Structure 1
């Protein structure tokens, strides 16, 4: 039995053991892999299963296409009817920031690597759709974007990249709070790595929304995790 056949047998085994689980992981050959399956719904919700299956098929196609184009995405190693297997790409940026055993200097390097990778992705005329820190992984200096939104909002590539940047900055403030020094450093890396044009376009886009700056100011410290960063995103583009 070849190694590839053994891996296929492992995937078949995991499909049985994790039946009904949307996301699961397993080890093979000393490496970790993630198994994503079509969500199995019950009752009236089962009529949405077709859409879920189509979404997974589209996600598989997108990941393979992006990998062929050289984009930093996890490699698809197996796929079939109702499932997708990708290589593990390391801890997410959010996970790295939550670790007490990771010093501030290393965390900053990880953030800078993520910003560099986002700028590089945009330089390839690509967009992620939702590059929050929980959707970006890092391992040994290598960044991978996970959970690409297969069905992105309509618009030009530049409009999607502007949305990318705003989501990314919002996520930085969501997880780092008011730590403007570390966030400014990370955003500066994005700008210097080729993202300046998109940053300027994002600043111009937000100019018509700056009235929200005053509206959101009372919530900058007491708002929820999604509301508080709105003020700080506006603050950043207002003061830089």
Structure 2
């Protein structure tokens, strides 16, 4: 259950939080003081046009918070909550995202491979608990050098806590890696190995069977895979994702 009356004892951090909450255009803010870093988030403020296109932002925000609490209660690694209210949540910083690490090649190749291996294993362990993230892209996973922490649960729904939901999670996870770097990499292989080694629910095999049925996606989207236009990376990731699940 969300506690609607949690704020900072630290006045400097509370002032930053108050400024963030008072800004109608702000959605995410970095709060810092004395070496501590936190991230504040609230529901988007959308025009009628964007509400019609993107849906109710408060509904998405509440799903995010509900997912955060559900995962924390199940022992899934999520950021510690430092403050929260009816329309905001503040969480502790947990290191760079996997997407940032991959794109900017942070650390050694072995360091990156380890991070992605742990991410795959952590996702499999989450599925073994019966939970689905909804969109476990690598931009929603942080690495502090030792452990993976999951973020952003706007797509969370108890209705997705099914074997099919786990399967889609896994495919989204692998596809998201190639969406940032559209080629075979040690990081992508390590992520796949990490999941397979920790998979106790048969999710990898279900994903492989689904990808085999969807092999037609590659030839159909070939024209969209060409070039460097906006959105092309997601289409370039399709054949790599299918190949990872054994489609030849």
TM-score tier (shorter): 0.7 to 0.9
Q: Is the counterpart of residue 30 in structure 1 residue 30 in structure 2?
A: no
TM-score (norm. length: structure 2): 0.82
Cα offset, 1:221, TM superposition: 5.8
1:109 aligned partner: 114
Q: 1:16 aligns with which of 2, 16, 19?
A: 19
1:166 to 171, 174, 179: 171
| Match among 42, 60, 80 for residue 85 of structure 2 | 80
Distance (whole Å) between structure 2 residues aligned to residue 156 and residue 22 of structure 1: 28
Cα shift at 1:46: 8.0
Match of 1:236 among 227, 236, 244: 244
Partner of 1:57: 62
Change (3 A) 1:150 1:46: closer
Q: Shift in Å at residue 41 of structure 1? A: 3.7
Q: Which runs of 5+ in 1 are unaligned?
A: none
Larger RCO: 1 or 2 (CA < 8 Å, sep 6+): 2
- For the Cα contact (< 8 Å) 1:213–1:235, is it kept in 2? no
More helix by share: 1
Whole-Å Cα distance in 2 between the matches of residues 174 and 45 of structure 1?
A: 25
Tell me, what secondary structure is at the counterpart of 1:91?
coil
Aligned residues: 237
Provide the aligned C-alpha RMSD in A: 3.0
Query: 2:48 aligned with 1:40, yes or no?
Result: no
Normalized against structure 1, the TM-score is what?
0.84
TM superposition outliers: structure 1 runs of 4+ over 3 Å: 41-48, 150-156, 213-223
**What SS does the corresponding residue of 1:74 show, helix, strand or coil?**
coil
Cα offsets for 1:169-188 (capped at 9, x unmatched): 11122223222554233202
